Amino acid sequence: MKTTTTTASSSPLVRRAAERGHADHGWLDSRHTFSFGDYYDPAQLGFRSLRVINDDRVAAGQGFGTHPHRDMEIFSYVLEGALAHRDSLGNARTLRPGQVQLMSAGRGVTHSEFNPSASETAHFLQIWIQPRERGLVPSYTEWHPAAGPADARKILLISPDGRDGSAVIHQDADVYRLRLKAGESVTHELRPGRGAWLQVAAGGAVFNGTELAAGDGASTETPGQLTFTATRPLEALFFDLK
């Protein structure tokens, strides 16, 4: 029997970088894809289980002091500089570009995120995903690029089952990193009943015929083959969500 692949025909819905919320606290410059803190837009409350995408730049020697969370899966993807993490579970890590930390706040955890550099800004994406249930036991996991697949065009960072060395999330969500040279393409098959979100961290891409630049996000819930082609050297996060 021959298997056929359908192509998702509808254009993705785009959330442009310039339309995001903005908070400038001096030590922190943050762009909010969805409603967060003092920024509220009833049309931008999240996408499926995806609740927060903050594009954060933290000044040298500054950071988020110890504060609590609960019932949320929170991860950071470092783009530039370094990020020092500490939490009430006893974890203390400093992450570098391309690395991921994922904290399941569960029934309650406290943590801090600090830029340890005396001169460089830390730039990272802060992501919150709603867990499949409340009151989970708090946990912490990381993803670091291995020597072999570090330059892979599409690589799994986060999954519910930890396959392929990915960090573990308590939600039916797969998170991939896309890293493409200009002109390169990758595809993804979106199954019926699921939704996809692409967040461009750097560079530019065409997502099923729609051009995106750094800071742009785009979503679709049309099943079929999704195609991403880099117009400039691309770094992006791609979410496949129940």
Q: What is the pLDDT of residues 16-66, one digit of tens each?
A: 999 999 999 999 999 999 999 999 999 999 999 999 999 999 999 999 999
Q: What type of residue sits at position 120?
A: E
What CA–CA distance (Å, rounded) separates 209 from 230? Answer: 12
Distances 205 to 10, 86, 169, 184, 236 between C-alpha atoms, Å: 17, 35, 27, 10, 9
Written as six digits, the tokens of 18 are 């310039």
Enumerate helices (H) and strands (E) in the chain, giving the number of each.
0, 20
Say what the pLDDT of residue 151 is.
Answer: 61
Residue entry with tokens 């550099």: 117
As a whole number of Å, the CA-based R_g of the chain is 17
What CA–CA distance (Å, rounded) separates 105 from 138? Answer: 5
Angle at 120 (CA atoms; ends 123, 147), nearest 5 degrees: 65
pLDDT confidence band for 3 (50 / 70 / 90):
very low
Q: What is the pLDDT of residues 149-182, one digit of tens each?
A: 556 899 999 999 999 999 999 999 999 999 999 9
- Judge whether residue 67 has pLDDT over 50: yes
Which secondary structure element, helix H or strand E, spans residue 189, and what is its range? Answer: strand 185-190
pLDDT confidence band for 114 (50 / 70 / 90):
very high
Say what the pLDDT of residue 2 is.
Answer: 40
What CA–CA distance (Å, rounded) separates 216 from 2? Answer: 37
Taking the model in full, what pTM does it have?
0.94
**Exposure on the CB side of residue 154, measured as CA atoms within 13 A:** 17
What mean pLDDT value characterizes the chain?
94
